[in-house]
Amino acid sequence: MSLTFNERVAVVTGAGRGIGRAIALQLASEGVTMLCVSQSQSSCGAVADLINASGGKAKAYPVDVSDGEAVSAAAGEILKEHGTVNILINNAGITRDGLILRMSSEAWQDVIQTNLTSCYYWIRNLAHPMARRRWGRIVNITSVTGISGNAGQSNYAASKAGMIGLTKSLARELASRSVTVNAVAPGFIETDMTSVLDERTTEIILKNIPLRRLGKPEDIAQMVTFICSEEAGYVTGQIFTVDGGMVM
C-alpha cells in the first residue's frame, strides 16, 4: 500500500542519530519537509544535508530540548518560516542509569526534563497551529521500559511511562480538531544506547525476545511513518510496541 503525504512539514527531535535519524530519512523519502532537531548542529546538520543531497527538503535546528525558552524560540522561528508544522515526533531522549537509592537528583531531573518535559514544550508551541488547521500528527517515542519497568532505570521508566499518559490524555484533548496523538514503544534497538551492552547482557536480552534479535531503527521509522500518513487518520491514543514480541 502506498502511503499519502500532502506536502507536510515535520519536526523530529533527536534527529541526529539512531531512531530519530531513521525517522527523518524515512519521512523525507515520502516527500515530507523535514526539520531536524538535536542539541548538536553537526549531527542534525549532517542528517539535513543528507536529505537535501538526496533530493528532499530539510533544515537543521540545534536546540536543547530540555530548555523551555530555547524550544519556544525555535518553534517561533519554525512557524515564521514554514507557516505551520503538521507532524511532530518527540524522540529526543537520554539515560542516566542507576539504582534509585544511589541516584542523584540531577540524574533524575535530567532524564525527566529531557525525555518527558521536552514533549510538553514542543506540544505547547506546535499543537495549536495543527488544531487551527484541523490536521496534525503527534507521535511520542516512548519505550517498553515505560510499560514493564527495568531495574536501574527508574528515572528513564518514569519518563517513558509519563509519555504514555501524556499521549492518551492529549489524544482526547485534540481529537475534535482531527489531530491524532499516538506513541511508539521500541524494544531493544541497535543504537548508541544498546551498543554499550556487553555480550552476556545481550544474550540475556535476546532470550526474552521471541524474534531472537535486536530491532533496527528502520523498524521504528516504518511504524512512525504509517501513523503520520493520511491513511492513519482514524488511529489515536494508541501505544504501538515494536519490540520483537517482548511485551505481549
Residue 140 resides in a domain: yes
- Residue 197, pLDDT score: 77
Q: Assess whether 156 carries a catalytic annotation.
A: yes
Phi, psi angles (nearest 5°) of residue 88: -125, 120
Residue 194 resides in a domain: no
Report the alpha-carbon distance of residue 113 to residue 132 in Å, rounded.
28
Phi, psi angles (nearest 5°) of residue 44: -70, -30
Confidence bin at 198 (pLDDT 50/70/90): confident
Task: Name residue, grid cell 497551529.
Answer: 129
- Residue 171, pLDDT score: 98
Mean pLDDT of 159-179: 98
Residue 247 resides in a domain: no
DSSP letters along 43-107, please?
HHHHHHHHHHHTT--EEEEE--TT-HHHHHHHHHHHHHHHS---EEEE---------GGG--HHH
Residue 209 resides in a domain: no
Residue 212 resides in a domain: no
CATH of the domain at 110: 3.40.50.720
Q: pLDDT tens, 112-135?
A: 999 999 999 999 999 999 999 999
- Residue 195 clears pLDDT 80, i.e. is over it: no
Q: Which residue has the higher pLDDT, 73 or 1?
A: 73
> Which amino acid, 175?
A
Number of structural domains found in the chain:
1
Confidence bin at 1 (pLDDT 50/70/90): low
Residue 246 resides in a domain: no
pTM for the predicted model, two decimal places: 0.96
Q: E strands along the chain, which residues?
A: 9-13, 33-38, 58-62, 87-90, 136-141, 179-186, 239-242
Out of 61, 120, 121, 156, the active site residue is 156
Residue 198 resides in a domain: no
- Quick one: what percent of the chain has pLDDT higher than 90? 92
Confidence bin at 194 (pLDDT 50/70/90): confident
Mean pLDDT of 163-187: 98
Residue 197 resides in a domain: no
Domain range holding 28?
A: 9-189+217-241
Q: pLDDT tens, 14-24?
A: 999 999 999 99
